[in-house]
Chains A and B, each alone.
Chain A
Amino acid sequence: MTEKFGIPYINVSFLGLEDIKASLTNIAEFTKDDEIIRKTKELIAAEEKQIEDILNYHKKRLEGKKVAIYVGGGFKAISLIKQFRELGMETVMVGTQTGKEEDYDIIKEITREGTVILDDTNPAELEKFILEKKADILVGGVKERPLAYKLGIAFCDHNHERKHALAGFEGAVNFAKEVDLTINSPVWKLI
């Protein structure tokens, strides 16, 4: 549409507080309307205040846990790394099925030295690195759920089939709650 009709565009994402805030700010600034920019700032502050306590509660229970990510696209992987970082969690393994070179450059930049980065991997490699890096949770598609459970770790389904929101401020809370529930489930003490 930009090429053909000259309609300008910007990239936005509404997953994870960092991206939500940046996206809202970018959209507001794009309008160059001071009133909109002021209202957006207020909205962000109000929304953030509303979820602050609950997010901090989950954060306390999740801080320091290790994450393994295996998803379809590079953008989702990048977004998830940031969201986990907001919860004080460290990504120790990350892979995608169709990520592009540019995606991997960003992934490399935002993860710590020593993080295992995989492209188009297989169950044998997932198993190896989940165990080797002592991940506490795997985030993946539904195929990977049974593997996580067989390895005795938590799992978060970040797939299209879920019905609740993971986007927006409300989604950020849902995400934290979901990750908390599975990681801190009493079942892991019983296996």
Chain B
Amino acid sequence: MPLGGVLALKGIENSMVILHGSQGCSTYIRRHMATHFNEPIDIASSSLTEDGTIYGGSKNLKLGLKNIIKLYNPGIIGVLTTCLAETIGEDIGGIITEFQEENLESRNIKIIPISTPAYSGTQSEGYYKTLRRLVEALSNGEVKNNKINIIAANINPGDIRQLKYILNCFDVGYTILPDVSDTLDSGYAKTYNKIPEGGTNLHDITLMGGASATIEMDCSAEIGSTAGDYLFETFGVPLFKCAVPIGIKATDVFINLISQISKKEIPKVLAKERGSLP
């Protein structure tokens, strides 16, 4: 659950994540993701020890949030729980509310509680749940727009880049959630940014409630539980589900969906690419 949650949050622009739990929970996800993506992966930890476990970890979590804001200056912080925090029944939503009441400067930062105990779900479930919590917290239906929401499966930066290429060929507006194409595959720069550039823009997420449709690449999550389901049920954004566009059949489905939603012909360049498959 927390690993999936972190993966989703790493595709959000100017985001940071903290795990409410013991240090190892964030260390091992950092270690795994750093070698997988070859990128520095910063994940804060509230570093619960015996004291925090017995008397409650709100002091640790608040201090952690303070440090993150000071060091990273993020626009959004995802607060994920771990087995330990859930077992002792931490009310992270309550702690965050208190924190934002006590710290004026934190009020313009989105701090989103997400419950992700590893014993209750898989990496995939943590990923989709986090995406849902993001649109629940940020999206509204106030501004109607012609964008297409693309809720991406947990796929690699190259795959996300390819999806963007296809969408750009159509010349349609879109919001891809999450977008790890730059955040988890960045180059060397003269000055090092603690939070990598790129990711889904927060304002774009607010617009997702007024989009023309959602394409969601997921066929495994419980029906009614996903971000796409929420956008449909709350704002009436039509929802289309498809598999990850890997392979000709699934790619055809994805491309036809964009054509159908945008009422645009399939771009010649894509038809040509399909025809020249070796």
Contact = CB atoms under 8 A, between A and B. Distances in A.
Among A124, A141, A145, the most chain B Cβ lie within 10 Å of the Cβ of A124
Contacts of B71: 124
Contact of B34 (A122, A127, A143, A152): A143
A150 B192 contact: yes
Contacts of B72: 124
B38 interface: yes
B31 A149 contact: no
Interface in A119-133: 122-124, 127
Contact of B192 (A141, A145, A151): A151
B15 to A, nearest CB: 16
Interface in A132-160: 141-143, 145-147, 149-152
A124 B192 CA distance: 11
Contact of B194 (A124, A142, A143, A145): A124
A142 B34 contact: yes
B4 to A, nearest CB: 19
Contacts of B35: 142-143
A55 B40 CA distance: 33
Contact of A149 (B27, B41, B188, B194): B188
A20 B133 CA distance: 56
A123 B31 contact: no
B2 to A, nearest CB: 16
A115 B189 CA distance: 27
Contacts of B194: 123-124, 127
B30 interface: yes
A149 B37 CA distance: 13
A191 B42 CA distance: 24
Contact of A150 (B30, B44, B188): B188
Contacts of A151: 192
Interface in B4-63: 27, 30-31, 34-35, 37-42, 44
Contacts of A143: 27, 30-31, 34-35, 41
A147 B42 CA distance: 10
A127 B192 contact: yes
Contacts, number: 38
B25 to A, nearest CB: 14
Given A124-B71, A141-B31, A146 B39 contact: yes
User: How big is chain A's contact interface, by range?
Assistant: 10 to 19
Nearest to A149: B188
Contacts of A146: 34, 37-41
Among B27, B39, B40, the most chain A Cβ lie within 10 Å of the Cβ of B40
A92 to B, nearest CB: 18
Interface in B168-200: 188-189, 192, 194
Contacts of A152: 188
A151 B31 CA distance: 18
A123 B38 contact: no
A123 B40 contact: yes
Given A127-B194, A191-B188, A150 B40 contact: yes
Contacts of A191: 188
A13 B38 CA distance: 32
A69 B137 CA distance: 41
Nearest to A130: B192
Given A143-B30, A146-B34, A123 B42 contact: yes
B195 to A, nearest CB: 11
Interface in A83-123: 122-123
Contacts of B30: 143
8 contacts: A122-B42, A123-B42, A124-B194, A142-B35, A145-B38, A146-B38, A146-B39, A152-B188
Interface of B: 27, 30-31, 34-35, 37-42, 44, 71-72, 188-189, 192, 194
Given A143-B31, A146-B37, A147-B40, 16 more contacts: A123-B40, A123-B42, A123-B194, A124-B71, A124-B72, A124-B194, A141-B31, A143-B27, A143-B35, A145-B38, A146-B34, A146-B38, A146-B39, A146-B41, A149-B188, A150-B189
Shortest 9 CB-CB contacts between residues of A and residues of B: A147-B40, A146-B40, A124-B71, A143-B34, A143-B31, A150-B192, A123-B42, A146-B39, A142-B35
